[in-house]
Amino acid sequence: MKQIRVLLIEDHFLARMALHSVLSGHSQIRIIGEACDGEAGIAMYRQHRPDVVVLDLRLPRVSGFEVIIELRKEFPAARIVVLSNYRGSEDIYRAVRSGAMAYLTKDASGEELLNAIQNVDRGLRYLPHVALDRLAERMPSVELTPRESEVLACITQGRSNREIAEELRIAEKTVRIHVSSVLDKMGARDRTQATIYALQRGLIHLD
């Protein structure tokens, strides 16, 4: 079984030790570094290139949001799990929009944290229903046609227009029309933003 190399970025010593204790008890997890602030966390990522980062948002010097943005800018494939006391829809939105692939609050169980890390390591998002519900509060509802919903589902899977056309057995030109309509209805500027909005509004569920 592959070991998942994890970097912890948490400024509180006891919280960091608790995380280390919970995660190191699983044979699939290997803690390769621990940082007590955002700046040190970014430096450790550059040095160790972990599979997954477990990150608090409230950090000294460089905030967790800034860490996410910097890591995703320098390492687009960086896989980040947020573990925070912040529960507001705006905080969850900012973290996901910045590039976090999972968002858990600090009262999450060790099993749920492990599940999030495993999913994120596989390139999947992990947003519990409570996080999706908070995101849904932030945005108005969207009415998509059945075909537009099918196209949106393909978009969230990262498929190109040609691949969507083949999957749905329609012309690529028709796909472009549907994609444009979906983005317009959702108020999204691109496919990535449409995926985030779909998560926010409960149009798709990946957990």
Q: Which CATH superfamily is domain 4-137 in?
A: Response regulator (3.40.50.2300)
Identify the pLDDT of residue 141. 63
C-alpha to C-alpha distance for 131 and 166, rounded to whole angstroms: 33
Identify the pLDDT of residue 206. 55
Residues 16-25: contacts with CB under 8 Å, at least 24 apart: 19/54, 19/83, 22/110, 22/113, 23/54, 23/110, 23/113, 23/114, 23/117
Residues 6 or more apart from 166 whose CB is under 8 A from it? none
Identify the pLDDT of residue 5. 97
Identify the pLDDT of residue 207. 47
Q: Which of 139, 141, 137, 179 is nearest to 160 (CA)?
A: 179
Q: Which fold has domain 139-200?
A: Arc Repressor Mutant, subunit A (1.10.10)
Identify the pLDDT of residue 133. 66
C-alpha to C-alpha distance for 153 and 180, rounded to whole angstroms: 14
Identify the pLDDT of residue 140. 57
Identify the pLDDT of residue 196. 80
pTM, full prediction: 0.66
Q: Which residues pair with 80 in a beta bridge?
A: 53
Residue type, 188: A
Domain residue spans in the chain?
4-137, 139-200
Identify the pLDDT of residue 205. 57
CA neighbours within 13 Å on the CB side: how many for 179? 24
Domains 4-137 and 139-200 are alike in CATH topology: no
Per-residue pLDDT of the chain (207 residues; tens, 9 = 90+): 689 999 999 999 999 999 999 998 898 999 999 999 999 999 999 999 999 999 999 898 899 999 999 999 999 999 999 998 876 777 888 888 889 999 998 888 889 999 999 999 998 888 877 776 666 665 556 778 889 989 998 998 888 999 999 999 999 999 999 999 999 888 788 888 888 878 766 676 554
59, 67 Cβ separation under 8 angstroms:
yes
